[in-house]
Structure 1
Amino acid sequence: MEHLINPGVKDIQISGIRKIANLVSQFPDALSLTIGQPDFPTPDHILQAAKLAIDAHKTTYTANPGLLELRQAAAAFVRNKYEMHYTPESEVIVTTGASQALDITLRTILEPGSEVLIPGPIYPGYEPLIRLCGGVPIYVDTRSNGFKLTAELIEPHITDKTRCIILCYPSNPTGRVVSGQELADIASLLEQKSIFVISDEIYSELIYDQPHVSIATIPSMREKTIVINGLSKSHSMTGWRIGFVFAPEYVAKHMVKVHQYNVTCASSISQYAALEALTNGVDDALPMKEAYMQRRDYVYNRLLQMGFELEKPEGAFYLFPSIERFKLSSMDFTMRLLNEHKVAVVPGDAFSIYGEGYIRISYAYSRQVLEQALDRMEDFVRKL
């Protein structure tokens, strides 16, 4: 009966990030620097809000786009933090994580043959969703540009089939940030073009040295941009699965139909927890960001001392050093490091072919784990 399975689904591969993370379970003494998950607990006041919601039996369906008070809080959050303006009743959708937000966005705007420009290397979750919609992912190589997707790189790839461009900043896996001027240049390029931008801003609260700027705040881009965000990284709520779509009404009203038939609504209890996060916890990310910044500086300097070439990330919690000087593929380097020195990282080719020759290191781990893992890595590279 397997021959009856949708070929598009059969062709999809499990994420390289998850493959390595699952493999680590076979090495009980290994130190893992693989998963991009905050090592901080969900703030206690959010836990208490969820418990109160359970005790109050708030366990029924909510409105399809989410609790109105949560949509109001989300709109207020991005307005006060980033100067983005969305109408809660018609331009905000609460989703089951940012991944589902991406799914309903792509299902709404793509049709078979639509081309989607994606920076490479990039998080592996975009391409399968595009392909499941019948779309065609077109990678834009950013390696020569410090892993930044700019107007100059985008322009040669635009065709009459280009339906949208995906921006993700701070970036997974590189931590790089697209500046306000670079966003303005992209806006100028797209001003006379009917092309959507999907702006994945899930790490917006984790930018270290500059304020977060959304391309949706540029007047000419507001009606062309669909912003994805959520609470997984900012409030250490990965398992709560709460994401948000901010989109102009003319597209949001169609996205909510896809959302309705996809999941009906996000978990009611998670929504009440999210409401607490976005009202009484608007600055919950600040102490986490400070800790990540210290970890970034420590890991970055250690890698430089080992002789790695790498860009210094401006946000998120990843580093993406080059391993080309070792003359090993990213997978061979990763497996040898795991087998010989019990340290797990993610091979760069998990982030498209443009990630080959690199590895991704997550520093969303304690200082003690980072020190031990980097000591082992230093011993490993010294012997190569």
Structure 2
Amino acid sequence: MTVTLSATLAANEDIERRRRAGERVLHLAFGEAGLPVHPALRDRLAAASECNGYGPVAGASGLRAAAAGYWTRRGLVTDPELVVSGPGSKSLLYALLLAIGGDIVLPMPSWVSYAAQADLVGSRPLLVPAPSGEGGVPDPDLVTEEVVRARAQGRTVSSILVTLPDNPTGRLASPATVARLVRVARELDLTIISDEIYRDLVHDPDLPYTSPADLAPERTIITTGLSKSLALGGWRIGVARLPENGHLLRTRLLAVASEIWSAPAAPVQEAATYAFGDPPELTERIARSRRLHGLVARAVYERFVEAGADVPEPQGGFYLYPDLGHLRLGGSAEITKLLLEEHGIGVLPGHAFGDDPSAARVRVAVSLLYGDSADERLTALNSADPLRLPWIADNLDFLSTGLRELSQSRHGTAPRPRRALVPAPCRG
């Protein structure tokens, strides 16, 4: 088995190296929320700095109760005993793969770490395309055929994973599609893992949202965290909501967790307990974040549409998934290389998400366009019209110019020289 650095982390490091060397690179490759920490959370973390014990493997009782309340307020009554915390939802997803066992059905495309984690635990993922116009879920009409075929070959297929809303496409699966997928999961006796870390960042709060746990609480696990909604990626905290009667799974999950991370960091748990309580100042911060992500994602979407790309309109989070196949400049790797090396635009190739390498699809993350300093990012968050802020407007103009020149490159037009840019040393 060959283990390589995560595509998102590798791209981020490469782009930061280029920027430190003086290149101007528009950083659209990394899914970091790109916003400052709320002062109330900093205060909670500082107040808990003397908490240095290991604590329970499942997480502190206060945190588990707060997370249970978070889901209950969203219509999913939750038993705190069926909540498990870990150092990020990414770690929890890995531990769940180990605890459940067997092969897993994944949507295609899907977040880079799902298939990589499956490979690490010896699970062979079944990649099933998402329905047309949707993202984050494997097409229910195709899942049965794939699972039946795999089982006929002697494979044990145990679970299916969805992302609501999705990374990389920025789309939210419709309630009808989720309902169809739940029916298929019941027929095939599959555990559903629903990654809902972007749930609170659906751009339109009135857009219908259905979790598989709404329809199949007996077989659905939900994972979430605070790295996206509250921009706490570096704090590493996540929670999992296990199915009804999921006590045996809990035992297995805790056994895995006890050998990998022992317990989540105690001070961060204290801050997370506060955050999952939905205090007004944090719900307001999330609402502002949701608005900013939506406005900038829409503006970037319009730039790609102007360039002739086929791109689904983003509905949640801070991602887009444009298809530049109309340019006939190669597949995702070739397009990604051209954008970075010739036009100073850093994106991720679609094949990193399990997509067809010959397709010219790329994943675009807009959340590092908000500014290079905490002051700029906070100004963007609180602005009535963030698209008019000089640094955001300049980034959007740079993107438009790069996409226009990429289109012209088919006819031999030389790219413009990129002016140097030395960014702030830390985005935190």
TM-score, L = length of structure 2: 0.82
| Counterpart pick for 2:213 among 216, 220, 232 | 216
Q: CA deviation at 1:144?
A: 4.3
> Are positions 1:16 and 2:19 aligned together?
no
- Equivalence map 1:1-384=2 (5 Å): 8=1, 11-28=2-19, 29-54=24-49, 57-80=50-73, 82-88=74-80, 90-110=81-101, 114-142=102-130, 144=132, 146-147=134-135, 148-159=137-148, 160=151, 161-209=156-204, 210-218=207-215, 221-248=216-243, 249-250=246-247, 251-279=249-277, 280=279, 281-327=282-328, 328-354=330-356, 356-364=359-367, 365-366=369-370, 367-368=392-393, 369-384=395-410
Distance, in Å, in 1 between the alignment partners of 2:4 and 2:124 is 16
Asked if 2 retains the 8 angstrom alpha-carbon contact of 1:149 and 1:178, the reply is: no
Distance, in Å, in 2 between the alignment partners of 1:345 and 1:68 is 41
Distance, in Å, in 2 between the alignment partners of 1:261 and 1:323 is 45
Distance, in Å, in 2 between the alignment partners of 1:228 and 1:343 is 32
SS of 1:296's partner is helix
Distance, in Å, in 2 between the alignment partners of 1:212 and 1:175 is 14
Q: CA deviation at 1:211?
A: 4.3
Q: CA deviation at 1:276?
A: 2.0
SS of 1:136's partner is coil
Distance, in Å, in 2 between the alignment partners of 1:284 and 1:68 is 26
Distance, in Å, in 2 between the alignment partners of 1:108 and 1:180 is 28
Distance, in Å, in 2 between the alignment partners of 1:231 and 1:316 is 13
Asked if 2 retains the 8 angstrom alpha-carbon contact of 1:120 and 1:143, the reply is: no
Asked if 1 retains the 8 angstrom alpha-carbon contact of 2:83 and 2:240, the reply is: yes
Q: CA deviation at 1:143?
A: 6.7
- Cα-to-partner distance string for 1:107-143 (whole Å, 9 max, x where unaligned): 1010xxx221111111110112212222111110237
Distance, in Å, in 2 between the alignment partners of 1:76 and 1:261 is 28
- Cα-to-partner distance string for 1:271-292 (whole Å, 9 max, x where unaligned): 1111221222345311100111
Q: CA deviation at 1:300?
A: 1.2
* Residue identity in the other structure for 2:26: L
Distance, in Å, in 1 between the alignment partners of 2:68 and 2:284 is 15
* Residue identity in the other structure for 1:155: T
* Residue identity in the other structure for 1:150: D
- Cα-to-partner distance string for 1:327-347 (whole Å, 9 max, x where unaligned): 222122111221222121111
SS of 2:356's partner is helix
Distance, in Å, in 2 between the alignment partners of 1:63 and 1:26 is 40
Distance, in Å, in 2 between the alignment partners of 1:342 and 1:166 is 34
Q: CA deviation at 1:188?
A: 1.9
* Residue identity in the other structure for 2:363: R
- Cα-to-partner distance string for 1:130-180 (whole Å, 9 max, x where unaligned): 122221111102374544533212221123332111111211110111111
SS of 2:125's partner is strand
Counterpart of 1:4 in structure 2 is none
Asked if 1 retains the 8 angstrom alpha-carbon contact of 2:84 and 2:240, the reply is: yes
Asked if 1 retains the 8 angstrom alpha-carbon contact of 2:202 and 2:315, the reply is: yes
Q: How many residues are paired up?
A: 366
Counterpart of 1:5 in structure 2 is none
Distance, in Å, in 2 between the alignment partners of 1:20 and 1:130 is 21
Distance, in Å, in 1 between the alignment partners of 2:100 and 2:79 is 21
Distance, in Å, in 2 between the alignment partners of 1:145 and 1:158 is 23
* Residue identity in the other structure for 2:274: E
SS of 1:191's partner is helix
Q: CA deviation at 1:372?
A: 2.6
SS of 2:95's partner is helix
Distance, in Å, in 2 between the alignment partners of 1:289 and 1:299 is 15
Distance, in Å, in 1 between the alignment partners of 2:178 and 2:345 is 37
Q: CA deviation at 1:191?
A: 2.5
Distance, in Å, in 2 between the alignment partners of 1:246 and 1:49 is 24
Distance, in Å, in 2 between the alignment partners of 1:223 and 1:150 is 22
Asked if 1 retains the 8 angstrom alpha-carbon contact of 2:57 and 2:258, the reply is: yes
Distance, in Å, in 1 between the alignment partners of 2:274 and 2:78 is 20
Asked if 2 retains the 8 angstrom alpha-carbon contact of 1:235 and 1:285, the reply is: yes
Distance, in Å, in 2 between the alignment partners of 1:298 and 1:168 is 24
Task: Note the residue ranges of structure 1 that are not aligned, 5 or more in a row.
Answer: 1-7
TM-score, L = length of structure 1: 0.90
Task: Note the residue ranges of structure 2 that are not aligned, 5 or more in a row.
Answer: 371-391, 411-428
Distance, in Å, in 1 between the alignment partners of 2:123 and 2:195 is 18
* Residue identity in the other structure for 1:336: L
Percent of pairs identical after alignment?
25
Distance, in Å, in 2 between the alignment partners of 1:273 and 1:241 is 11
Please, what is the CA RMSD of the aligned residues?
1.7
